[in-house]
Amino acid sequence: MHRIVITGASDGIGAEIALQLAQTHQSQLQLTLAARNAGNLQAVARQCEAHGAQVLVQPTDVSVEAQCRTLIAEAVRRFDGIDVLINNAGISAHALLEDVSAQDLNWYEQLMRINLWGSVWCTHAALPYLKASKGSVVAVSSLAGLIGVPGRTAYSASKFAMTGFFEALRAELKPAGVSVTTAYPGVVATQIRNRGYNAKGVAAGVSGLKEDKAMSVQECARLIIHGMNQRQREVVMDKGKLGRFLKLIAPGLVENMALAALKDDVKPH
C-alpha cells in the first residue's frame, strides 16, 4: 500500500497530484487529503475513489499547529502509518513593500505561518511514522524560493525559508533512510496568484505575473511525482536551473529578468 498525505489538496497542484496518484496506484493507494475547503476536498476525494483509492478527507488550516497535528494523527489512525507527506499547502502574495502600510504588514507573518510553519508542523508530527516506513517528505516550494522576485518579498521570504528548512532536514534524515524532495515550480496555470494577498492582505483577484507561458498543472504534478518516486533531492522546473546558475555569475542580469516577468502595472517605479 501507498499511504500518502497531501496538504493543499482541494485544487490546483495538490488536487492534481492526488488524482494522478489515484490513477496510478488505484486500490493500492491510501490517501489523506487536507485543505480548508471541505467541499472541494470531497469533490477531489470522489474522483480519487472512482479509481479505487481509499481516501480520508481531513479539513485542515495549516496555519494552526493543532490542526496540523490532528491531520497526521487522523491519517495514522485510519491507515496505520504514513509513507509520504506532501507539503503542498501555500498562499501567494504580490505587493511592493513600500505599498504595504504599517498596520497591514502583519499579513507577512500570516503568510509565513501558512507556507513555512504549516510544513514544519506537519513534518514534525509525521516524522516518527516516516522514519518507521523509511518514507519520503515532499515540499512544494517555488522558483521564488531560489531567486528573489520583485513584488514578492513576503512570498520569496517564506519559500526561501522552506528551502533552508528542508535542505537541513534532508541531511538530518539521511541516516534514517527518509528522503526529502523539494520542488521548485515556476509559473503554473493555477489560481494561487489570484487568491494571494495584495498590499492590504486580502485576495488580489488578479496575477501580477505574465502567465502566457505558464506550465500546465498536469505537467507540474507529473514532475513532482516523478521526483518523489525517484527520491530526488530537488525538482527544479521551467528556467530555474538556468536562473540559479546565472544568479552566481551575473546576479544583476537575473534581477532584470525577474523585473521583466512582472506586468507593467505592478512594476516598481
| Cα distance between residue 21 and residue 222, in whole Å | 9
Grid coordinates given for 224: 513532482
- Give me the catalytic one of 108, 129, 155, 184: 155
With contact defined as beta carbons under 8 Å apart, do 93 and 107 qualify?
Answer: yes
| Cα distance between residue 230 and residue 176, in whole Å | 17
Examine the residue annotation and report whether 197 is marked as an active-site residue of this protein: no
With contact defined as beta carbons under 8 Å apart, do 162 and 170 qualify?
Answer: no
| Cα distance between residue 173 and residue 14, in whole Å | 24
Half-sphere exposure of 19 (CA within 13 A, CB side): 18
With contact defined as beta carbons under 8 Å apart, do 199 and 185 qualify?
Answer: no
Question: Which positions are annotated as active-site residues?
Answer: 155
